Amino acid sequence: MPGSAKLDAENSLIIGSGDRWFGRVVVKSDENPVQTYNHFFKGMPSLGWKLMSAMQSKASLLSFQRGERIAMVQIETSQLGGSTISISVSMQQREPAK
């Protein structure tokens, strides 16, 4: 997380703990959206997450995979300046057995 990030507990739902949690974490950061995008674009791979897709725009979206987990990072400009970051983590869906 960016150094200035503060958890928005009201809009977050975290199930589990440690390296096995899943759910949605919403944080507010003083960093602008471009700085925040670069933070996750460069930082997540150093934590073992493989970049799957990236789109930088008004609402930027990054998707990563690590093992069987998928992380989607959405970054938007906050109304009060800085960024609002929504990180959703879930298990990868498997194809049903035939």
State how many domains the chain has.
1
Domain-located, residue 88: no
Residue 89 lies in a domain: no
User: Which domain does 20 fall in, by range?
Assistant: 6-82
pTM given for the model: 0.87
Work out the pLDDT band at 3, boundaries 50, 70, 90: low
Top pLDDT among 97 and 31 is at 31
Q: From residue 50, how far is each of 30, 39, 60, 69, 84 by CA, in Å? A: 26, 15, 17, 11, 22
In a domain? residue 95: no
Residue 8: its H or E element:
none
Q: What mean pLDDT do residues 67-88 have? A: 92
Residue listed under structure tokens 């390296």: 19
- Whether 87 maps to a domain, the answer reads no
Q: What would the pLDDT profile of 35-65 be if each residue is shown by its tens digit?
A: 999 999 999 999 999 999 999 998 999 999 9
Q: Would residue 39 count as lying in a domain?
A: yes
